[in-house]
Structure 1
């Protein structure tokens, strides 16, 4: 277990990226989400490795991104906050493909995070679709549930974030950080 690497997970549109940006603004190290960057790059180059085309390839690209982020975080002093982690790939594959290859499960066993994972629960009041997020709210709820199962199955404890303004969420995370020190 790497007790200084913290994951934010949940469904799309639950405020993870906004919270991560606020944590970065507060001076904490962060690692960005793989999915949006991969989708943009794949669409830009006409590649098939995105959710709307080849979901298995998309999952492999996300796995590579998350592993690279995990390794990069080893070089960072102090706590690092991730917008999703390797078990998110397990949740994605479980939800959309119904099968998780052994190498993905092995990656989740080898590259560990803090034992408490922050879960951004579905929040209809802030959920929005955009050009990168084609999922509707029902799919966002199903995704959040898949992530909960994936992290619990990988041996993590999930701590739901409050449905509160970003400043209160930052305080909640900083309090967890203080308790973990």
Structure 2
């Protein structure tokens, strides 16, 4: 079954959207990076994106692979970010992603259509896992968008709307995609 990525810069409403999709009965996969940050902070580790992005990216890659292969095969699953996000974050930090990221992406076959949320200042909030300013979040969004396009994904930008309306937008798109492939 299809595995869709929902992406965008930090604080654009991805997690809220995924919660809404889960409430509608869809399978969702948590954001690997956010959970890793919590775990690494609790351990007192330096393996954090603002300290050692390369080491953090490697851990995030392994977690994303685990989440991908743990997703059920018999239903549509939505992922809070995908492997291309790691590549985009590395590029944004002027770190050249090595081949293992592209090899992992080849093994994790996400749907070619990816839902992306643009920066939205009125809903943006910092918290213990989201340290970036809104301007930095905007730059990361641009890197994410560029990376997905370079990798051949088709981006579907979600409207600035309520979480419920965004979820309806996503569901309408995937239902349309399924009906056009039958």
Q: TM-score, normalised by structure 1?
A: 0.95
**Which of 92, 95, 101 is equivalent to 1:95?**
92
Runs of 4+ in 1 over 4 A off after TM superposition: none
**Which of 125, 141, 149 is equivalent to 1:144?**
141
Give distance in 2, aligned partners of 1:154 and 1:83.
18
C-alpha RMSD over aligned residues: 1.1
Residue of structure 2 equivalent to 1:72: 70
Aligned residues: 178
Residue of structure 2 equivalent to 1:117: 114
Give distance in 2, aligned partners of 1:62 and 1:97.
18
Q: Deviations over 1:111-154 (max 9, x none)?
A: 12111000010111101111211100111011111111111111
Q: TM-score, normalised by structure 2?
A: 0.94
Unaligned runs of 5+ in 2: none
Displacement of 1:49: 1.4
Q: Which runs of structure 2 are paired with 1:1-181 in the superposition (5 Å)?
A: 4-73=2-71, 75-181=72-178
Q: Deviations over 1:36-63 (max 9, x none)?
A: 1111100101112111221101101110
Unaligned runs of 5+ in 1: none
